């Protein structure tokens, strides 16, 4: 009987041995968890990068295609009032007031697309890019200004993401003029026109814009006085940044910005038939 009890005692574990075993198991489980967490974060970062890259490229291609067709580039220091809608709210001023050069803002006029344009004397309520000269303005608004709005339709409001509230959304504002005559492209008065999203998760720049490039979202050259093909230029510096879950922010490109300069090919031709 005593022999059996001794064998049972020898076959068991002491409290110290159990505690040591549990500690070792905890270390192993923690290591496995950290490896799994790192792998998950790396996968999320890769997926985020794969999402941001084509979105940035598509937005850049679209934006440059519009700027390249410009018949007029509003010069530095031109002031605009785009109204009070959240889609036109300046991150610097909190209003719809913008200044070319000081703000991350560029505005151009595109000629009618039709070979036989026929624009009404009064400006159309809905942009008529086929028959009329049309203002195209590009600028950023805070994501939080759009996601927090209760008046915008779902198509004009990005998904709510508190981690990315400080990011920007690149917007496009279109507004056609009525029939134009003379040689001067006007600055339209404020109205209720809304902007449309071109690119989400736009990386902010310093406000107001600084003189160094590429910290400026847009910069102009040859915009003062008579504008000329090959001399008047618009430089665009785009980058995207997004944070998902507990992962670090993902930026595209990894550093700096994607910089492209475009020379509008219709400048200096004046106002033609429309």
SS3 141: strand
The per-residue pLDDT for range 9-18, each reduced to its tens digit, is 555 667 776 7
How sure is the predictor about 3, in pLDDT bands with cuts at 50, 70 and 90?
low
- Rounded to whole angstroms, what are the CA distances from 88 to 5, 91, 106, 153, 267? 85, 9, 13, 15, 26
Question: What is the reported pLDDT for 137?
Answer: 98
Residue 247 has pLDDT above 80, yes or no: no
pLDDT for 155 equals 73
Q: How far apart, in whole angstroms, are the C-alpha atoms of residue 124 and residue 119? A: 8
Token pair, residue 193, equals 């026109």
| Each residue's pLDDT tens digit, 109-143 | 999 999 899 999 999 999 999 999 999 999 999 99
CA 87 to chain centroid: 13
Q: Indicate whether 250 pLDDT > 80.
A: yes
Q: Domain boundaries in the chain?
A: 55-262
Nearest one of 250, 68, 27, 55 to 169, comparing CA atoms: 55
End-to-end Cα separation, the chain, in angstroms: 112
DSSP, residue by residue, 260-274: EEE--SSTTS-----
pLDDT recorded at residue 7: 53
Q: Looking at residues 20-49, what average pLDDT do you find?
A: 68
Question: Which residues contact residue 3 at a Cβ distance below 8 angstroms, ignoring those fewer than 6 apart?
Answer: none
Residues 6+ apart with CB under 8 A from 178: 119, 120, 121, 122, 123, 124, 132
The Cα–Cα gap between 263 and 68 comes to 6
Mean of pLDDT values over 136-160: 90
What sign does the dihedral 149-154-158-162 (CA atoms) show?
positive
SS3 at position 81? strand
pLDDT at 43: 65
Summarize pLDDT for 40-82 with one digit per residue, the tens.
Answer: 555 667 788 888 999 999 999 999 999 999 999 999 999 999 9
d(CA 23, CA 99): 64
pLDDT of residue 60: 95
- Whole-model pTM? 0.85
Tell me what pLDDT residue 68 has. 97
pLDDT digits (tens, 9 = 90+) for 179-206: 998 888 999 999 999 999 999 999 999 9
Q: Cβ neighbours of residue 137 under 8 Å, at least 6 residues apart?
A: 80, 82, 98, 105, 106, 107, 108, 172, 173
Reported as a pLDDT band with limits 50, 70 and 90, residue 24 is confident
Residue listed under structure tokens 């794969």: 50
Burial class (CB in 10 A: 0-12, 13-18, 19+), 266: middle
pLDDT at 273 over 80: yes
Give me the helices (H) in the chain, please: 2-11, 15-68, 143-147
């Amino acid at each position: 009987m005593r022999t059996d009890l001794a064998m049972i005692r020898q076959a068991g574990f002491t409290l110290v041995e159990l505690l040591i075993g549990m500690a070792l198991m905890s270390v192993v489980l923690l290591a496995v968890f950290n490896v799994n967490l790192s792998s998950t974060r790396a996968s999320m970062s890769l997926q985020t990068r794969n999402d941001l890259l084509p979105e940035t490229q598509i937005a850049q291609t679209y934006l440059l295609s519009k700027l390249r067709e410009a018949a007029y580039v509003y010069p530095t220091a031109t002031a605009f009032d785009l109204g009070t809608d959240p889609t036109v709210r300046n991150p610097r001023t909190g209003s719809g007031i913008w200044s070319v050069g000081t703000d991350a803002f560029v505005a151009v006029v595109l000629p009618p697309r039709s070979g036989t344009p026929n624009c009404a004397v009064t400006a159309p309520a809905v942009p008529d890019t086929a028959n009329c000269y049309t203002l195209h303005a590009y600028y950023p608004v805070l994501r939080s200004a759009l996601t927090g709005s209760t008046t915008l339709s779902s198509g004009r409001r990005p998904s709510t993401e508190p981690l990315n509230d400080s990011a920007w959304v690149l917007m496009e504002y279109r507004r056609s003029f009525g029939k134009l005559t003379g040689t001067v492209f006007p600055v339209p008065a404020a109205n209720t026109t809304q902007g449309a999203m071109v690119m989400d998760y736009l990386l902010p720049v310093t406000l107001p814009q600084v003189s160094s490039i590429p910290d400026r979202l847009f910069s102009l050259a040859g915009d003062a006085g008579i504008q000329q093909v090959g001399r008047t230029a618009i430089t665009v510096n785009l980058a995207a940044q997004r944070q998902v879950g507990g992962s670090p922010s993902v930026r595209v490109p990894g550093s700096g910005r994607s910089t492209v300069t475009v020379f509008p090919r219709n400048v200096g031709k004046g106002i033609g038939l429309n």
